Amino acid sequence: MVHNIQDTVEVLDLNTNGVMIHSTKKCGVPLFGQVWFNPKSITNIISMSEMVDKHHVTYDSHKEDEFVVHLPTKDIKFKCSINGLYYYKPT
């Protein structure tokens, strides 16, 4: 789901519940733009505030516990996991 992985002089140090993640790469995500990339990570994390800056996002907890990102060609649903984090799993 990513393209154009490149080294960067910028560094992102991210504290997680297990370890410190040190990232020195960025990549492109279609219809979103440039994001941080770490080849050791099992997932990509995208900031909700950055997502809202780029696309219309809706959430209706009365309907379903998910939020929908409305892209120009399709809608993508992010569902809630059992630990409370929202995720999108492509088919």
Domain with 7, as residue range(s), is: 1-41
In this structure, the answer to whether residues 54 and 78 fall within a common structural domain is yes
- pTM of this structure: 0.74
In this structure, the answer to whether residues 4 and 25 fall within a common structural domain is yes
In this structure, the answer to whether residues 65 and 34 fall within a common structural domain is no
Would you state the torsion angle of the CA atoms of residues 58, 62, 66, 71, taken in this order, to the nearest 10 degrees?
-30
**Is the pLDDT score of 9 beyond 90?**
yes
Q: Tokens in use for 2?
A: 């990513």
| Residues shown for the chain | 91
Tens digit of each residue's pLDDT (9 = 90 or more) over 13-64: 887 777 888 899 999 988 888 888 988 887 777 888 989 999 999 998 898 8
- Report pLDDT for 4: 95
Tens digit of each residue's pLDDT (9 = 90 or more) over 62-72: 988 999 999 99
Q: Tokens in use for 49?
A: 């505030």
Element (H, E) at 24: strand 20-29
